[in-house]
Structure 1
Amino acid sequence: MSSAEPNSAAAPRPASAAPLPSTAGIADPGALGLAGFATTTFILSTFNTGLLGDSLETVVLPFALFFGGTAQLLAGMWEFRRANTFAATAFSAYGAFWLGFAYYISQVVPKLPPAHAYQATGLFLLAWAVFTTYMIIPAMRTNGAVLGVIVVLAVTFILLTIGAFAQSTGIDKVGGWAGYVTAALAWYASCATAANGTWKKTVLPVWPLD
């Protein structure tokens, strides 16, 4: 979810402040963050679509803890270092989402009243649907690849939220397929970020929007 954020967007600094260290030698963490997000989303979507049974769903937990969660959170911290507000917010937030998801599934769900657990899950998903929907606005200043990820992710969260509250496996499956599209777009954006940064030229287009 990396973007070339203009320096004018940074907070003003006192004239007497020492210049900030250059970030020119810091690699773009966007490829890592997008890869962690895409891979974990793909794994979870496999169960949301019903392609694999729920009895195997715990396989998503190590991905959520270490790749989608920890690695993505670290990518977000490095984006703060690069003064990229959108990517820092997105990677850090979705890293926290996956860590929270792992904790929710393993520690919270087993303790919820079975008759009302779906409401808790719906509320959990609704909060992320709201966050992702308003992140579309800053994503419009990044590039087409990242904007596509955020838009389809918002649709995914909305569908899964509706499916949870309505207790509809049909809507859940549609949300799972939307998750597959999200994962594919994020994988493409990750590959483009890594390839373009390594080759020092446009190998895969990301369609800048600014």
Structure 2
Amino acid sequence: MATTTDNHTAAALEKESSVNTGAANPNGANAGNAAAGAPAYGYGYNPLLHQHSGPEPRLPAFGGEFQPGLWKGIEHRKFANPAPLGLCGFALTTFVLSLINLNTRDVTQPNIVLALAFGYGGLVQLLAGMWEMAVGNTFGATALSSYGGFWISYAILLTPGFNALNAYSSAADEGSALGFFLFGWFIFTTILLLCTLRSTVMFFLLFFTLDLAFLMLACADLAKSNGNASAGTTLQHAGGGFGILAAFLAWYNAFAGIADSSNSFFTIPVFHFPWSEKGRAARGKTEREIA
């Protein structure tokens, strides 16, 4: 009995110690409530490892959480961070389609993308967007749900059973319609891009390269519809190149959202803009240290 009592006492003391010291997983479900004593990895690294002080602390922008601006951590969050899941679904589907747009190993038919577009990039990313709503992230919910819808709609266009493109009487009309479709996504991505200007470099570059990919691919379809096959192919390859970059940047931001001290020996930099809240705070700290 004495041994059992001692074990219970030790466990209680250990629990009390962890509460008092604020030990917490900096990237976990309660990352927004991590104590100020979390390990510091320096300016430009995972901002979930640092918390603003004050009566209502705000965390800096972070692509791993799909947060483009200051945000408040959710106390006792019931959901894990859904952003890396959505980012990975987007990244893999974009990666495969972009390889085909580059005619890698002479593969030109995008049919293999259908499975990913319906399943991973479509359904799974859409679900991640819905979960972003549950955790109160408007930007993440809008972006992930919309791009999940993009992949599902793109898969519908490529699926013969839907006959979505059969209504067009000529290849020129079909190319123009696809160009309109992609231009709409270019405009939408531009809106999201403008919302990342105060976030991090890696988060901004994700939407910047994706925006250029949509623009290049839209112009490629319009060029082909005008009978300029050579320009269309060049623009398609450019769109594929920007798509590859966007895919790897999505994986990069996903990794930043997953990796923490509990599962990785290091965290990766996300590079805050100098004019962002985190950048201004770091610059002010450096100036005070020099003074």
- Same fold, TM-score > 0.5, yes or no: yes
1:53 aligned to which of 107, 116, 124: 107
Q: Match for 1:181: what amino acid?
A: L
1:151 match: 208
- The structure showing larger relative contact order (alpha-carbon pairs under 8 Å, at least 6 residues apart) is 1
Q: Judge conservation of contact 1:5–1:84 (CA < 8 Å) in 2.
A: no
Matched residue count: 197
SS at structure 2 position matched to 1:135: helix
Moved more, 40-49 or 188-197: 188-197
Deviation per residue, 1:131-171 (Å, 9 max, x gap): 00111111224332221100110011111111110111111
Cα distance in structure 2, aligned partners of 1:201 and 1:180: 27
Cα distance in structure 1, aligned partners of 2:237 and 2:122: 24
Q: Judge conservation of contact 2:90–2:247 (CA < 8 Å) in 1.
A: yes
Cα distance in structure 2, aligned partners of 1:203 and 1:7: 20
SS at structure 1 position matched to 2:259: helix
- Gaps of at least 5 residues in structure 1 are 9-20
1:123 aligned to which of 157, 177, 180: 180
Aligned residues: CA RMSD: 2.2
2:122 match: 69
SS at structure 1 position matched to 2:271: coil
Offset of residue 46 of structure 1: 1.1
Identical counterparts, % of pairs: 34
2:89 match: 36
Deviation per residue, 1:77-119 (Å, 9 max, x gap): 1111111111111101100100110011213124432331101
Q: Judge conservation of contact 2:190–2:211 (CA < 8 Å) in 1.
A: yes
Moved more, 33-42 or 46-55: 46-55
Cα distance in structure 2, aligned partners of 1:173 and 1:122: 15
TM-score, normalized by length of structure 1? 0.85
Offset of residue 126 of structure 1: 0.5
Matched, 1:203 2:267: yes
1:182 aligned to which of 234, 246, 267: 246
Q: Judge conservation of contact 2:121–2:151 (CA < 8 Å) in 1.
A: yes
1:98 aligned to which of 145, 151, 159: 151
Q: Judge conservation of contact 2:68–2:139 (CA < 8 Å) in 1.
A: no
Q: Judge conservation of contact 1:86–1:139 (CA < 8 Å) in 2.
A: no
TM-score, normalized by length of structure 2? 0.63
Cα distance in structure 2, aligned partners of 1:86 and 1:163: 29
Q: Judge conservation of contact 2:69–2:196 (CA < 8 Å) in 1.
A: no
Matched, 1:137 2:194: yes
* Larger helix fraction of residues: 1
- Gaps of at least 5 residues in structure 2 are 1-62, 225-231, 278-291
1:14 match: none
Q: Judge conservation of contact 1:64–1:102 (CA < 8 Å) in 2.
A: yes
